[in-house]
A and B are shown apart, each in its own frame.
Chain A
Amino acid sequence: MTDPQDHTPAPERATATGTSPAGGDAGRRAGAPLLEVRDLRVGFGSEDGLVQAVGGISYTVEAGRTLGIVGESGSGKSVSSMTLMGLTRSPSTKIEGEVLFEGRDLLTMSTDELRKVRGNEIAMIFQDPLSSLHPFYRIGDQIIEGVRAHNDVTKKQAKARAVEMLGLVGIPDPGRRVDAYPHEFSGGMRQRVMIAMALANDPKLLIADEPTTALDVTVQKQILELMDRLQRELGTAIVMITHDLGVVAETADDIAVMYAGRIVERASVHDLFSHPRHPYTWGLLRSIPRLDLPRDVELVPVDGRPPSLIGLPDDCSFRERCPYAAGCCRPGMPDLLGADGAPDHQVRCTMPPERRATIWQVLADGGTPQEAATKAGIPQPEEVA
C-alpha cells in the first residue's frame, strides 16, 4: 500500500519481500508463497449450459503482501475468491484446479476441514457491511461467535477479544459499543466492525471483496488507511478485489486484471500503471475520468460488452472488442506470458512488443485508439458514423 511517509518508488517495494516488520514471518516457509492458486476453474450449471465464471486462473500471494484483483462485473473476480473459501460449493458447481494455502489444497478439503480454515486462517470482508452483518444480533455477539468457533475460550475471554479488536479498528468507546446492533453504526463504522470480526482470529490472509464500494469516498479513504495500518501491524496478506483502478493503485503491491473469467494481465502495481500491456487494461485506464489529468481529454469507452460465459470459445475473449486485433492476432487463446524484458509482467496477448509500446505511447498522450492503431500500422475498419 502506498505510504506517503515513504516515497520509495514502487518497483523496489514490489521486489522487496514482505513489507511489514511483524508480518513477513507469520506462517511463512522458505520460498513457498502463502497462497498459490493453480489453474482454478469454476463453472455453474444453468438451464442454458455451464457458465464458466472462472476459466483457469493462477496467481500467488506472499505473506504480508497485497494482491489487487481488478475486473468488471462478471469477470470472475468475486467467484474465484469465494471459491477459495469454499463458499461456492454446491452440487451444480464444477470446481477444478488447485488452491494451495500453506501447501494444503483447499479444494480437496472436506467441508468440515475447510470450516476450520475459514474465518480462522483466511477471513473475508464484503461489499455491503450493512447486509453482511446480521441485523438481529449485537456486533459483539457476532464477533464472539467467530472467535469461539475456532478457539476454546470462554464467552468472557471472547468478549474481551471483541472489545480489543473494536478498539484496534478505531471504534470509539469499544467497551460500550460492543453491545450495539449493526443499524446503530454508520456505514464506515460497520465496515470497521466487519474488519474487526475478520481479523479477530489473526488470519494470515484477508480476502476483501469490494470492501469500499458501498461507502462514501471520504469514508473509503479511512477504511483503506485502516486496512493498510492493520496489514503493517498484523502482517496479514490481503487479496483486494475491486472494480476501481484507483483503489488498487493505492493499496496493492501486485495487480491481476481479470476479463471474462481469466487473468489478462498481471504485474506489480508500478509496472501495470506505467506500462500497461493489454488492450483491455488500456481500455479501462482510458475510460475512467481522472482528477490528475486535464479535463478536456476525452474518455474512450470500451465498445461492446463482455462475452457470454456459456460456451466461451477457446480464443481471446477480448478480440471482439479490441481495436487493435486486425492484422496481428492469431486465432486461439493466448497464454499468460512474461513480457519481453519484464518476466514478472505477464500479459495474455500476442501483440508484438514494439507495436504495444507504440500504441500505449499514443494512448498515454491522450490519443484515440484509432490514432494509436494507425500509428502502429494496424488497418482500421471503415468508421460507421
Chain B
Amino acid sequence: MARYIIRRLLWTVVTLVVITAVAYFLFRVLPSGDPVRARAGKAPTQERLDAIRESLGLDNPWYQQLGDFLWNAAHFDFGRSYISDAELRPLLLDALGATTWLVVGAVIVWLSAAAVVGTISALRRGSLPDRVAMGGALVAISAPVYWLGLVALYLFASDIGQFKVFPGAGSYASADGVLDRAWAMVLPWFVLAAAFSAVYARLLRSSLLESMQEDYIRTARAKGLSERRVIFRHASRSAITPLVTALGVDVGLLIGGNAILTESVFNIPGLGRLSYDAIQRGDVATIQATVLFLAFFVCISALVVDLLYALIDPRVKYE
C-alpha cells in the first residue's frame, strides 16, 4: 500500500511537471505573451526593455527559465501579475480559500440530499416519491447555475430579495469570522449543489438498484438480517463506489476553478473569478498559475479516489 502511494505520488509529480512545462511553453508562444512589453508601458526604450528582461530572468537560456519556473511552481510561487505586478501567491491562496469554502459546503449539501433522495427512490422504485424526485432531478440538472443563482438572489437575498433571509451577492468578501462567512455562503452552497444533488441522487439510485440485485443481498436476507441492515450495510457499501469516482473528478475540477459561474453570480473572490478576470485582462502569468492549480487539484483528487477505492473494496490490490 505504502509502495503504491509512493508510486502514485511519483507519477503525479511527473504528470504535473509535464503539464507545467507544456503550460509554460504554450503561454510563452502566445502572441500577447511577452511579459516584458506588458510591463514596459507605452513606447519603451530598448534599455528599459532589457532591464525589465533581466530583472525577470528572461535573458537566461530557456532551459534555465523552465527550471526556475518549475522550481518556483513547486513552491506555489508563480511570480507576479503582468498587469498589476501584485505577487501571485497570496492572491491565489486567498482565492483558493474562498473556493474551498464554497465547494466543501456544497459537497456536504449535495451528498446529503443525494443520499436521502437516492435511497428513497431506489427502495420505492416506481412510487410517487420516486417519480417526483427523479422528475425534479431532471429540472435541477437542466437549470443553468447563473439562472438559478439569480433567482435565488431575487427571492432570498437580504438586499434585493423578496424574502430578505440570506446575505446577498458580494457579502462573502466583507464577512468576518467563520460563522459570518458560512452564513454568507448559504445561498451559493445550495445553488452550486442543486444540479450536483440531482446527478448524484440519480447515480445513487441506479447503483443501489443494481446492487440490490446482487447474489450477496439474497444471502444477507437468507441469513435473516433485517431489511435495514441489508440495505445500509450490504447494498449501500457497494453502491457508493461510482459516487466516489464522480466525486473525485467533480471536487478536483470545482476547486481548480470550475465553480466560476457560482462565484461570478455571488461575487465570491475564488479561483474561478481570478482566472476569469485574468483571461479578460490578458494576464498571462495569472492564467498560467490558475491552469496549474486546476491540474494540481485534478491530479490530487484522482489519487485520493484511488486510495479510497482500497478502503471500500478489499479486492483492490496495490502492490
Whether A associates with B in a native complex is yes
Q: Which residues in A have some Cβ–Cβ distance to B below 8 Å?
A: 85, 87, 111, 115-120, 123-124, 126, 128, 131-136, 145-146, 149-150, 181, 183, 194, 197
CA distance A63 to B310 in the complex (A): 46
Query: Which residue on chain A has the smallest CB distance to residue B217?
Result: A134
Asked if residues A133 and B216 are in contact (CB atoms below 8 Å), the reply is yes
* Least CB separation from B220: chain A residue: A134
Contact status A145-B225, CB under 8 Å: yes
**Docked CA distance A117–B219 (Å):** 14
**Which of B76-84, B98-106, B159-167, B311-319 binds A?**
B311-319
Q: How far is the CA of A146 from the CA of B229 in the complex (A)?
A: 11
Q: What residue in chain A is nearest B216 (Cβ atoms)? A: A134
CB of A373, distance to nearest CB on chain B (Å): 44
Judge if B65 is at the interface, Cβ distance under 8 Å.
no
Q: Is the CB of A136 within 8 A of B218?
A: no
Docked CA distance A336–B214 (Å): 36
The residue that A123 contacts in the complex, of B214, B218, B222, with Cβ under 8 A, is B222
Closest chain-A Cβ to B222's Cβ sits at a distance in Å of 4
The answer to whether A120 touches B224 (Cβ under 8 A) is yes
Q: B222 contacts A119, CB within 8 Å?
A: yes
Known: A115-B225, A118-B222, A136-B312. 14 other contacts (CB 8 A): A115-B224, A118-B221, A118-B223, A119-B223, A119-B224, A131-B214, A131-B215, A133-B219, A134-B216, A134-B238, A135-B314, A135-B315, A149-B224, A183-B315
B39 within 8 A of partner (CB): no
| Complex contact A87–B219 (CB within 8 A) | no
Interface residue ranges of B269-319 to A (CB < 8 Å): 312-315
A135-B313, A136-B312 given; A145·B215 CB < 8 A: no
Q: Could you name 10 residue pairs across A and B whose Cβ atoms are closer than 8 Å?
A: A87-B221, A118-B224, A128-B215, A132-B215, A134-B216, A134-B237, A134-B238, A145-B225, A146-B225, A183-B315
Report B303 CB to chain A, min CB distance, Å: 21
Interface residues of B (CB under 8 A from A): 214-216, 218-227, 229, 234, 237-238, 312-315
CB distance from B84 to the nearest CB of A (A): 53
| Bound CA span A116–B222, Å | 10
- Give Cα distance in the complex from A87 to B222, angstroms: 7
CA distance A354 to B77 in the complex (A): 100
Q: Determine if A117 and B315 form an interchain contact, defined as CB atoms under 8 angstroms apart.
A: no
Q: Specify which chain A residues have a CB less than 8 angstroms from the CB of B218 in the assembled complex.
A: 87, 126, 132
- A-B pairs with the 9 shortest C-beta distances? A119-B224, A119-B223, A118-B224, A131-B215, A146-B223, A134-B216, A124-B222, A132-B215, A181-B314
A-B contact count (CB 8 A): 69
Complex Cα–Cα for A316 and B300 (A): 67
In the complex the two chains form, is A136's CB within 8 Å of B237's CB? yes
User: Closest CB of chain A to B225's CB: distance in Å?
Assistant: 5
Question: Are the CB atoms of A134 and B224 closer together than 8 Å?
Answer: no
Q: How far is the CB of A176 from chain B (nearest CB, A)?
A: 16
Closest Cβ of chain A to B119, distance in Å, is: 18
Contact (A149, B223) CB under 8 Å given A133-B216, A136-B313, A181-B314: yes
B223 x A145 contact (CB < 8 A): yes
| Cα-based distance from A118 to B226 in the complex (angstroms) | 11
Q: Which of A85, A116, A123, A136 contacts B238 (CB 8 A)?
A: A136
Query: Nearest chain A CB to B242's CB is how many angstroms away?
Result: 14
- Give the nearest-CB partner of B317 in chain A: A183
- Whether A134 contacts B234 by the Cβ 8 Å rule is yes
Compute how far the CA of A131 lies from the CA of B315 in the bound complex, rounded to whole angstroms: 13
**Cα of A115 to Cα of B228 in the assembled complex, Å:** 12
Which partner residue on chain B sits nearest A138 by CB separation?
Answer: B314
Task: Report yes or no: B313 in contact with A126, Cβ–Cβ below 8 A.
Answer: no
Neighbouring A residues of B312 by C-beta, 8 Å: 136
Give Cα A150–Cα B229 distance, bound, in whole angstroms.
14
A101 vs chain B, min Cβ distance (A) = 14
Bound complex: CA A255 to CA B238 (Å): 39
Q: Is the CB of B215 within 8 A of A126?
A: yes
Residue from B214, B218, B238, B313 whose CB has the most chain A CB atoms within 10 Å = B218
Q: Which residue in chain B gives the minimum CB-CB distance to A85? A: B222
How near does chain B come to A122, taking the closest CB pair, in angstroms? Answer: 9
With A135-B313, A136-B312 known to touch, is A126 a contact of B219 (CB < 8 Å)? yes
B317 to chain A, nearest CB (A): 9
CA distance A181 to B312 in the complex (A): 13
Residues of A near B224 (CB, < 8 A) are 115-120, 146, 149-150
Contact of A131 among B216, B220, B223 (CB under 8 A): B216
Cβ distance B141 to chain A, nearest Cβ, rounded Å: 30
Nearest CB in chain A: distance from B92 CB, A: 40
Q: Within the assembled complex, what's the spacing in Å between the Cα atoms of A119 and B221?
A: 8
Q: State A87–B217 Cα separation when bound (angstroms).
A: 11
Expressed in whole angstroms, the Cα–Cα distance for A145 and B229 within the complex equals 10
- Using Cβ atoms and an 8 Å threshold, which residues of chain B touch A132? 215-216, 218-219
Which residues of A are found within 8 Å of B225, using beta-carbon distances? 115, 119, 145-146, 149
In the complex, A53 Cα to B227 Cα: how many Å? 25
Residue in chain B with minimal CB distance to A122: B222
Q: Which chain A residues border B215 with CB–CB below 8 Å?
A: 126, 128, 131-132
Chain B residues with CB under 8 Å of A128's CB are: 215
Tell me the nearest residue of chain B to A197, going by C-beta: B223
